[in-house]
Structure 1
């Protein structure tokens, strides 16, 4: 009678272990698939951010070229004005001043209003050639998007590492089904549950992208 009860108890214990094992395998498989999905989504976000950063760099370069051309044109006109003043030809100097570009005229007026304290109109804060602000804006955007891309890449890597962790859970769970002493099987299953729980807690701290 005692032998029969012992066999029934052992069978019930095996059944309970099998149920837990199936549950752990199912949950881990779902979590692994979810981590793969999230890793793929963040990889896509990384690619988009890198593309946006590249586009912003191109726009910044174009704006910088516009500002450089405007600065060169202003410098050429200003050089002629300096020569006219040096030659004491006020009429020519006035004629040249009338042909200053609007942004350079504003800087020139500010320079004169300040008593010509600076080395020239170009070094005053009032001198802002067209394209310079756009270039600064696009450069800042490119830097921000590049940083965002690196962050998204790290997020994708984090999810990829979790798939490795959950693969370990699957391995330990599968090993617990091998023919070996019951206590070893339970230890392996317990380790699998412990590692899986740690992985789940870590995963809950990660951002989600749908």
Structure 2
């Protein structure tokens, strides 16, 4: 009778141990999958951030070139205006870029009290807004990449925690005293439940 009870307890223990091992194996695989997905998302975000920075540099170069052109034309206009050459100033004004012409008109309408059209809010060289938008996108995607990297690391750390569960469960199946085996198994279950609860707080990427 005692032998039957021992066998029954052993069977119950083995069933619980196998259940813990199976669930932990699934959770470990899931964490590995999520770590891989977040790692891929991180790579994409870093790539997009890099691409946006390059595009922002190109747009900023376009704005810089446009500003230099307007500055050159403006210098000629100032010289002609100082020489009171109306024909030449009119000729130069016809060659203002669209963006500079808008700022010039606003500056002129305001009584020319500002230091020049370049300081007017209406003056926005082509590429300026695009450069700002792309720079903001680059910063945003870079931050997203760092966040994805952290999430991937979190899942990777969970795989280490679940590996500890597998180790404790495997140790509990060795030929040890009954209380030691149960202690190891209960500890494995506690660690596994802790890991599972933590995992539920992590975002999922499919």
TM-score by length of 1: 0.96
Task: Encode CA deviations 1:45-81: one digit per residue, 9 max, x unaligned.
Answer: 1000111111111110000000000000000000000
Aligned to 2:121: 125
Aligned to 2:97: 101
Structure 2 residue runs of 5 or longer lacking an equivalent are: none
Aligned to 2:23: 27
Aligned to 1:40: 36
Aligned positions, number: 206
- 1:116 aligned onto 2:124: no
Shift of 1:6: 2.2
Aligned to 1:165: 161
Match among 7, 10, 27 for residue 6 of structure 2: 10
Aligned to 2:68: 72
Aligned to 2:203: 207
Query: What is the distance in 2 between the residues matched to 1:119 and 1:14?
Result: 91
Shift of 1:91: 1.8
Shift of 1:7: 2.1
Query: What is the distance in 2 between the residues matched to 1:72 and 1:128?
Result: 13
Helix, strand or coil: the match of 1:61? helix
Query: What is the distance in 1 between the residues matched to 2:110 and 2:153?
Result: 57
Query: What is the distance in 2 between the residues matched to 1:106 and 1:165?
Result: 64
- 1:49 aligned onto 2:45: yes
Q: Flag as ranges the 4+ runs of structure 1 deviating above 2 A.
A: none
Match among 173, 180, 192 for residue 177 of structure 1: 173
Shift of 1:106: 0.1
TM-score by length of 2: 0.98
